[in-house]
């Protein structure tokens, strides 16, 4: 059986996995697992399903090393798993047959691909951190916008005088507004401080 694996880091509104799915079908994948998760994340649901489903002698196809993992350690674990199950790995045009002894040069090339995949991820993280630091140094406020009293829902503001007069408890107040108590506490804090 030939299993495909596709992955993108962010959700389907920001990244499209369709190209990978099309390429995997062209590479002979009969069943494809795909997900939106970080390639460095150890416990990925769809990858775990694939690893649990695969049987001795099967094939795993992926478009490139960075799709299956962005971690060299995890790549080495996948190689060891492939050896234990006598799998065939097809990563882009790179074929690794683990049904016998893997050529040392082939294994080293695969690991080098993993090193570059991890390096690329680390460089991306560094660029993001640098960009955030630059924005912060220019006075840009990062994170969620600050909540202000005018952003408190109308219902919460309407029932606030009843709460202040002691006519309703916090629990009743939250129920009347259809919000959780922790959210209500935040709104009360805004309205009393603001």
Write out the catalytic residue numbers. 9
For residue 144, give every residue at least 6 positions away whose Cβ sits within 8 Å of its Cβ, in sequence order, or none. none
SS3 call for 140 = coil
d(CA 8, CA 171): 42
Phi and psi dihedrals of 25, rounded to 5?
A: -65, -40
How far, in Å, CA of 107 to CA of 114, rounded? Answer: 11
8 A C-beta contact, residue 123 and residue 80: no
> Facing residues of 36 across strands?
8
């Amino acid at each position: 059986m030939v299993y495909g694996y596709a992955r993108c880091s962010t959700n389907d509104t920001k990244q499209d996995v369709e190209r990978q799915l099309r390429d995997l079908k062209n590479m002979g994948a009969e069943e494809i697992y795909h997900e939106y998760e970080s390639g460095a994340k150890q416990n990925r649901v769809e990858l775990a399903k694939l690893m649990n489903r695969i049987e001795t002698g099967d094939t795993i196809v992926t478009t490139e090393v960075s799709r299956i993992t962005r971690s060299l350690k995890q790549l080495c674990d996948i190689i060891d798993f492939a050896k234990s199950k006598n799998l065939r790995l097809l990563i882009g045009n790179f074929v690794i047959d683990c049904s016998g002894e893997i050529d040392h040069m082939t294994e080293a090339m695969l690991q080098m691909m993993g090193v570059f995949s991890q390096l690329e991820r680390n460089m991306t993280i560094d660029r993001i951190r640098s960009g955030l630091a630059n924005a912060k140094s220019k006075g840009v406020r990062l994170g969620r916008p600050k909540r202000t009293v005018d952003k408190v829902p109308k219902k919460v503001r309407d029932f606030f005088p009843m709460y202040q007069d002691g006519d309703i408890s916090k629990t009743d107040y939250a129920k009347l507004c259809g919000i959780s108590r922790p959210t209500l506490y935040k709104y009360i804090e805004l309205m009393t401080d603001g």
